[in-house]
Amino acid sequence: MINPSLSARLQRVVCDPLSYIHPDRTGIAPELIARPAQRAAVNELLIRAGRLDTCPGESRHVLREPVAQHVLCQWDFLVQAAFLLGCSARRGELAWQGKILRLPEWARLFLQVSLPVTVPSGIPQGGLLCTGYSLLQGSIRHLPRFLTQRVSLLFPPQAECAPPSPPVDPLMLLLALQHAQRYPDKHFSPASARWCAD
């Protein structure tokens, strides 16, 4: 039997992109989407304009795959987890001239943990979020297309500055997701770490 909570999360991710799309991807004033009918119309427009796939037959299969379950259960933490992956991949750069001290406290805590996994070599250069987004995309590329399409909506357009990298160790992804869930930062903005793009 499929977990009703997981099924509801899948429904939200597939049918309500407006609930999670990054503000830099839309220019919609909040008052224009105040009513349910307006939100439904804008969601339909986002799905059609973005040519987002739907998952009528795949949903049962997706809900049984562990990585898909983690992605759905921690959907709202994916940006923060990607940032952590980027921090981990560029740990050496962050140590230079004390850049690590400019990170949010929860990111510094993540870097203090002695992680038993390594990040793949050949990571593209760019900001921390760009690097983390690349690592995340590489790690979830085997998931159904309708999910991977929607992950990109969580991020600002500039995060897509690099192609997907080789996947990180699944344990590393899990640790980043768990850390982001343990230390949620509702006010986290990738813009606060733009200095790392230098």
Number of domains observed in the structure of the chain: 1
CA dihedral 173, 85, 79, 46 (to 10 degrees): -80
Domain boundaries, position 106 = 4-197
| pLDDT digit string, tens, across residues 169-188 | 888 899 999 999 999 987 77
Sign of CA dihedral 23, 78, 114, 121: negative
Average pLDDT over residues 50-59: 76
Would you place residue 122 in the very low, low, confident or very high pLDDT band (cuts 50, 70, 90)? low
Q: How many residues does the chain have?
A: 198
Would you place residue 95 in the very low, low, confident or very high pLDDT band (cuts 50, 70, 90)? confident
Cα–Cα distance for residue pair 115/179, rounded to 1 Å: 12
* pTM listed for this prediction: 0.86
Q: What are phi and psi of 166, to 5 degrees?
A: -60, 150
Q: Which pLDDT score, from 0 to 100, does residue 44 have?
A: 92
**Average pLDDT for the chain:** 83
Average pLDDT over residues 126-140: 88
pLDDT above 90: residue 13: yes
pLDDT above 70: residue 60: no
pLDDT above 60: residue 11: yes
Helix 4-15 vs helix 66-73: crossing angle, to nearest 10? 70
In angstroms, the Cα distances linking 13 to 10, 40, 102 are 5, 14, 33
Q: Which pLDDT score, from 0 to 100, does residue 195 have?
A: 39
Amino acid at 35: R
Q: Which pLDDT score, from 0 to 100, does residue 123 have?
A: 62
Higher pLDDT, 194 or 36: 36
